[in-house]
Structure 1
Amino acid sequence: MDPKHDDGALGAGSHAAAPEAAPTAGTDPAGVGSAEMPAPGAPLLEIRDLDVEFRTQQGTVKAVEGASLTLPAGGTLAIVGESGSGKSTTAMAAIGLLPGNGRVTGGSVKFAGEELVGLSDAKMRRIRGRRIGLVPQDPMSNLNPVTRVGQQIGETLLTHGLATKKDVGAKVVEVMERAGIPEPARRAKQYPHELSGGLRQRVLIAIGLACRPQLLIADEPTSALDVTVQQVILDQIDEMTRELGSSVLLITHDLGLAAERAQQLVVMHRGRVVESGDARAILEDPQHAYTRSLVAAAPSVAAARLLPEAFDPALSALKEDDAAALSTVALAKKDLTPLVEIRDLTKVYPVRGHDDFTAAKDVSLKIPRGKTVSIVGESGSGKTTTARMLLKLIEPTSGEITFEGKDVLGMKGEDLKDFRQRVQAVFQDPFSSLNPSFTVGRIIEEPLQTYKRGNAKERRARVLELMEQVALPSHFHRRYPAELSGGQRQRVAIARALALNPELIVCDEPVSALDVLVQDQILTLLRRLQDELGLSYLFISHDLAVVRLISDYVCVMKDGEVVEAASSEEVFTNPRHPYTRRLLASIPGNELGIAVEADGEHV
């Protein structure tokens, strides 16, 4: 279907000033090469009628058909769409980074007036990194695990002649500081596994911006980051693009982020551009049916909870000014025995040569039966540490955990075996949490085999029943994880977690890497399963809009401590702690109709 607006009209709305003349490489590490930047508003990247196909064992697959877009110098354009829509393929085709079985079969890609389709590998290598930077999505698969991060950033500077071996160390620290990495000199000596997810993503951003390129392609650059870090990262990208007059091609499934950060928007579906034009105009009045479905599926902190139930007045917001009340949830109703109770849970890690690190401090909360309690907070706030202590994956330094009144920390033998069956987990990345050499059927059946549930025929029937529960076709039981989409893999992980009929499922960022349509499906699935099976959830997330949809109660964590806990309704409509207000204020596209103050300053 034709786009809503002519793609050639996508040049309006530039926000950058004209850059100074580019210095010569070798004299200034900020040099961008000999090519001149087009005037602000003039086309920098022009894609016309692009066709991309992949050769597979099943034949040729057309991944992109007739895609067109124009990105002006100094502007930001966002491409949105679900997984497999062709948005990343379009960007990778433009810079010659398609996998070996992919090729451009038609169309044109012009960068600063120069045709890139058909350009030699040698010439493309001089453009990539120096004039076009790339920030990929997954830092763990894009960073070398056996090389210090400083060396990886330095390699980019050395390759493009923007530093010498003598001064590369100082230049690396400069770049890391510009990317918002704290203690850059110390962090430069660390390996990727020693950094948090947010810091690893900042390293990728530092590499992408190291040469101060004219165009930055940011492929889901903040999808795994909490809202405050996300805001810092995007603010830094905005600052650099304003300083240099650079352009940003932003690939994202976050519609709020697209509306907030991009002037122009391109919506892709099944390899085609279905709508394009002014970002806010499209999101406020989408014309194409697919765009309307994306907007409808996008979570919002102003939205009602999924399948809302009437809140029990006795379990509603904790409004009293009692510090103890903010350390637990669901205290009001005496006859509601909690399934799980955590009291004063603390985890301290000894650090050689430094002070001990306290990952969680005096954490207390309760999880009522059949309800969802969410823990939210930035990376490093202690939320995943708390969840792992509940799962007995790590031992706490002090504190208590009870499950149906029984001491979890002291469980051994049959008691521990029973606990393991009744408490299951769904992790963030289904690709790494599923055995790639097992079929879907074997993955789901594994817990049944481990705990000797039924015979082979009964287990097979149970597998098919579980697949039906999570809306997976029965013939998928022969497939492997690599043959599934991200949403399908997460459904397999949920089915596996349900295999032993648990009472509590710990969901650690289960939808953070999924696009909005699949995210909406998974959240609706979790809520439906809760209603049907009476499940309780401990839901870990940095996405407050998702938490708003799924939660009965919310605990907000900061620096290892619970700073606020109340019903979901109360936290989102009447946040009490300044940190909670700051989290809410950081949400891209936040349309809450309440005044929010962070640290005493009106936002």
Structure 2
Amino acid sequence: MKDASAMNVKEMRMDGQPLLQVSGLAVDFATMDGVVHAVEGVDLEIAPGETVAIVGESGSGKSTTAMAVIGLLASGGRVAGGSIRLDGRELVGASESELRQIRGRDIGMVPQDPMSNLNPVAKIGTQVAETLLAHGLATRGDVKQKVIEALSAAGLPDPERRAKQYPHELSGGLRQRALIAIGLACRPRLLIADEPTSALDVTVQQTILDQLDEMTRELGTAVLLITHDLGLAAERAQRVVVMHRGRVVEQGDARQILEDPQHPYTQSLVSAAPSIAAARLQPEVFDASTGSATQGLGGAEDGAPRASDVAAGDHIVEIEGLRKVYPVRGRGDDFVAVDDVSLAIPRGKTVAIVGESGSGKTTTARMLLKLIEPTAGTIRFEGHDIATLDKAQAREFRQRVQPIFQDPYSSLNPMFTIGRLIGEPLEFYKRGNRAERRARVLKLLDDVALPASMMQRYPAELSGGQRQRVAIARALALSPDLIVCDEPVSALDVLVQDQILTLLGDLQKEYGLSYLFISHDLAVVRLISDYVCVMKDGALVEAATSEEIFTNPRDPYTRRLLSSIPGNELGIAS
């Protein structure tokens, strides 16, 4: 957060009216169980050029408040009371045609979920061009160049190539950046950013947020930032609005609120936020007599990063020389997604893989899950090469190795109830009778802090964080030996994130579970991991114990990742 910027905002607030003024906002949703009062009596203001962050746990009403401002409430929702004024113009009661004129040009939107907000059958460049052409900000003659500029400004590498690709050809982080490019393309006066960087690694997150700051300074664009990341709010917002159960419980200067919170709920948010200075949630004592390494995962004097020598005793997974190459259409060179990666996962431990989007960490995880086949290399589970498993062995393998995917929107069948989603693995593998399966589902819901009433609801009725908890419960259903966690808490607020990480740690301690933990959130990795592998451009650049990585990183790339974490100076880095 920049003091000069904050000073300019204060001057603007004194000299003129707010750009956005929300007064007494109430939002109701009609459900099968009656009317739900999702937002009650919310007041907030945003000055031209100001960044205001709304923080709170899933279901607190922060996203609903933002959607009410832009007139895009979900089905069954309505503004039941209050006022929303944009530059003095009342938006409550405006017609749909009036709102369409405002959306994009006056109010931009960066939604949270890239897969459900990008057209899967249209190229990325086409989708950016539609926005520019619809608002008269480009012509057929210059739209191509302006699309490239928008993609480049949003941090997409090789924007000419990305413009020609479809959403499914991009990683989760790149898809999110494409959404940001669309939201910024028209340079709106107000940008609503709903968890705009939750899918991004810290270095790209920094690039995107720097871009938002630049817009704020140069164009007077205001930003309403919806986030569960307190470090991001502390670093990037002038003011913070804290919401809980549909109400504003505290608001004011960002640093003052996050350094000295007054409301008990705000205090709980701040205390739950992970920090890279924190110790592992459940510290492990490594004993040399058991074969555990004391000099990192590799420990080689030549500095070659290897993860295959750690805990020379018992490994549940051993990966050697793993490589994945994709042919690229229309180009002579192939794309090497994973290049000669070797690592091991000790039984009952957590190995984290960190790196930027496109570093190869998720591709490595998918090869371990047998979702894609490696080009070269070997993956052994319990000493057996998974490439040679017969049908019966593969069926057993899939029960013992379970995934938690990054995107809870596309990984949950929208036609199934929550109870059926969690119980489906139990039914498929014929675990117990109907009553026993129901009891197991109820226990799993309780484990991930969801009420039993969720059993009959559908994914569309849940928040992003709630959907991710369902995905985690489903992964735990079969009591697996190894869980491959691909960004499992990126969609969660800090309170639920803290619960889930503690739960994963408790389950590991009780059942001897092993985890491969894929994440761009280094503060979370610090809390959950015993060992850390750092990947860049498909290769392993550093591998060591978690303590070594965070206290004595050797590779310049690792040091750059650590220095990019927002909120470090406040001890908040989530």
Question: Above 0.5 in TM-score?
Answer: yes
Whether 1:418 aligns to 2:396 is yes
Give the match for residue 317 of structure 2.
340
Structure 1 contact 38–44 (Cα < 8 Å) conserved: no
* C-alpha deviation, 1:115, in angstroms: 2.6
1:399-414 aligned at under 5 Å gives the runs 399-414=377-392
Q: Which amino acid aligns with 1:387?
A: A
Change in CA separation of 1:424 and 1:280 when aligned onto 2, cut-off 3 Å: same
Give the match for residue 573 of structure 1.
551
**Cα deviation per residue 1:273-293 (whole Å; 9 max; x = unaligned)?**
111111011000000011011
Give the match for residue 29 of structure 1.
none
Tell me how far apart the structure 2 counterparts of residues 16 and 43 of structure 1 sit (CA, whole Å): 10
Of 108, 133, 145, 2:120 maps to 145
Give the match for residue 170 of structure 1.
145
Structure 1 contact 487–522 (Cα < 8 Å) conserved: no
Give the match for residue 322 of structure 1.
301
Give the match for residue 34 of structure 1.
none
**Of 131-140 and 287-296, the range deviating more from structure 2:** 131-140
Tell me how far apart the structure 2 counterparts of residues 227 and 177 of structure 1 sit (CA, whole Å): 18
Give the match for residue 3 of structure 1.
none
Whether 1:287 aligns to 2:262 is yes
Whether 1:398 aligns to 2:376 is yes
SS at match of 2:45: strand
Give the match for residue 352 of structure 1.
329
Change in CA separation of 1:40 and 1:531 when aligned onto 2, cut-off 3 Å: farther
SS at match of 2:352: strand
Aligned length: 563
Give the match for residue 129 of structure 2.
154
Of 486, 496, 499, 1:518 maps to 496
Change in CA separation of 1:533 and 1:250 when aligned onto 2, cut-off 3 Å: same
Q: Which amino acid aligns with 1:212?
A: R
Give the match for residue 215 of structure 1.
190
Structure 2 contact 486–517 (Cα < 8 Å) conserved: yes
Tell me how far apart the structure 2 counterparts of residues 592 and 581 of structure 1 sit (CA, whole Å): 19
1:207-286 aligned at under 5 Å gives the runs 207-286=182-261
Tell me how far apart the structure 1 counterparts of residues 404 and 435 of structure 2 sit (CA, whole Å): 26
* C-alpha deviation, 1:53, in angstroms: 1.7
**Cα deviation per residue 1:138-168 (whole Å; 9 max; x = unaligned)?**
1221122222222222222222222223332
Give the match for residue 307 of structure 1.
282
Tell me how far apart the structure 2 counterparts of residues 271 and 325 of structure 1 sit (CA, whole Å): 52
Structure 1 contact 143–192 (Cα < 8 Å) conserved: yes
Give the match for residue 193 of structure 1.
168
* C-alpha deviation, 1:226, in angstroms: 0.9
Q: Percent of counterpart pairs with the same letter?
A: 71
Tell me how far apart the structure 1 counterparts of residues 420 and 103 of structure 2 sit (CA, whole Å): 43
SS at match of 1:409: helix
Structure 1 contact 346–362 (Cα < 8 Å) conserved: yes
Change in CA separation of 1:63 and 1:533 when aligned onto 2, cut-off 3 Å: same
Of 6, 21, 32, 1:13 maps to 6
Structure 2 contact 468–492 (Cα < 8 Å) conserved: no
**Cα deviation per residue 1:370-417 (whole Å; 9 max; x = unaligned)?**
111111111111111111111111111111111222222221133322
Tell me how far apart the structure 2 counterparts of residues 442 and 95 of structure 1 sit (CA, whole Å): 34
SS at match of 2:24: strand
* C-alpha deviation, 1:101, in angstroms: 2.5
Structure 1 contact 53–63 (Cα < 8 Å) conserved: yes
* C-alpha deviation, 1:183, in angstroms: 2.9
Of 59, 63, 75, 1:88 maps to 63
Tell me how far apart the structure 2 counterparts of residues 93 and 440 of structure 1 sit (CA, whole Å): 27
* C-alpha deviation, 1:483, in angstroms: 4.4
Of 407, 415, 418, 1:429 maps to 407
* C-alpha deviation, 1:257, in angstroms: 0.2
Whether 1:506 aligns to 2:474 is no
Q: Which amino acid aligns with 2:307?
A: T
Change in CA separation of 1:38 and 1:132 when aligned onto 2, cut-off 3 Å: farther
Q: Which amino acid aligns with 1:449?
A: E
SS at match of 1:346: strand
**Cα deviation per residue 1:532-591 (whole Å; 9 max; x = unaligned)?**
111111111111111111111111111111111111111111111111111111111124
* C-alpha deviation, 1:185, in angstroms: 3.0
* C-alpha deviation, 1:368, in angstroms: 0.8
Of 18, 37, 42, 1:43 maps to 18
Give the match for residue 548 of structure 1.
526
SS at match of 1:433: coil
Tell me how far apart the structure 1 counterparts of residues 347 and 16 of structure 2 sit (CA, whole Å): 57
Tell me how far apart the structure 2 counterparts of residues 40 and 245 of structure 1 sit (CA, whole Å): 14
SS at match of 2:554: coil
Change in CA separation of 1:476 and 1:16 when aligned onto 2, cut-off 3 Å: closer
Of 37, 41, 45, 1:62 maps to 37
**Of 55-64 and 256-265, the range deviating more from structure 2:** 55-64
Whether 1:118 aligns to 2:100 is no
Give the match for residue 388 of structure 1.
366
Of 560, 566, 572, 1:588 maps to 566
* C-alpha deviation, 1:126, in angstroms: 2.4
Change in CA separation of 1:428 and 1:562 when aligned onto 2, cut-off 3 Å: same
Structure 1 contact 17–242 (Cα < 8 Å) conserved: no
**Of 310-319 and 233-242, the range deviating more from structure 2:** 310-319
Structure 1 contact 215–246 (Cα < 8 Å) conserved: yes
Structure 2 contact 203–564 (Cα < 8 Å) conserved: yes
Tell me how far apart the structure 2 counterparts of residues 292 and 219 of structure 1 sit (CA, whole Å): 23
Structure 2 contact 534–558 (Cα < 8 Å) conserved: yes
Tell me how far apart the structure 1 counterparts of residues 466 and 69 of structure 2 sit (CA, whole Å): 29
Structure 2 contact 448–499 (Cα < 8 Å) conserved: no
Tell me how far apart the structure 2 counterparts of residues 457 and 116 of structure 1 sit (CA, whole Å): 51
**Of 42-51 and 456-465, the range deviating more from structure 2:** 456-465
SS at match of 2:191: strand
Q: Using structure 2 for the length normalisation, give the TM-score.
A: 0.91
* C-alpha deviation, 1:426, in angstroms: 1.6
* C-alpha deviation, 1:366, in angstroms: 0.9
SS at match of 1:51: strand
Tell me how far apart the structure 2 counterparts of residues 577 and 401 of structure 1 sit (CA, whole Å): 26
Give the match for residue 558 of structure 1.
536
Q: Which amino acid aligns with 1:302?
A: A
Change in CA separation of 1:17 and 1:85 when aligned onto 2, cut-off 3 Å: closer
**Cα deviation per residue 1:99-151 (whole Å; 9 max; x = unaligned)?**
35322232222222333223333333322211221111112211222222222
* C-alpha deviation, 1:470, in angstroms: 4.7
Q: Which amino acid aligns with 1:345?
A: L
**Of 211-220 and 361-370, the range deviating more from structure 2:** 211-220
Change in CA separation of 1:420 and 1:196 when aligned onto 2, cut-off 3 Å: closer
Tell me how far apart the structure 2 counterparts of residues 224 and 466 of structure 1 sit (CA, whole Å): 26
Tell me how far apart the structure 1 counterparts of residues 7 and 225 of structure 2 sit (CA, whole Å): 15
Q: Which runs of 5+ in 1 are unaligned?
A: 1-10, 19-36, 594-603
**Cα deviation per residue 1:352-381 (whole Å; 9 max; x = unaligned)?**
332111111111111111111111111111
Structure 2 contact 230–273 (Cα < 8 Å) conserved: yes
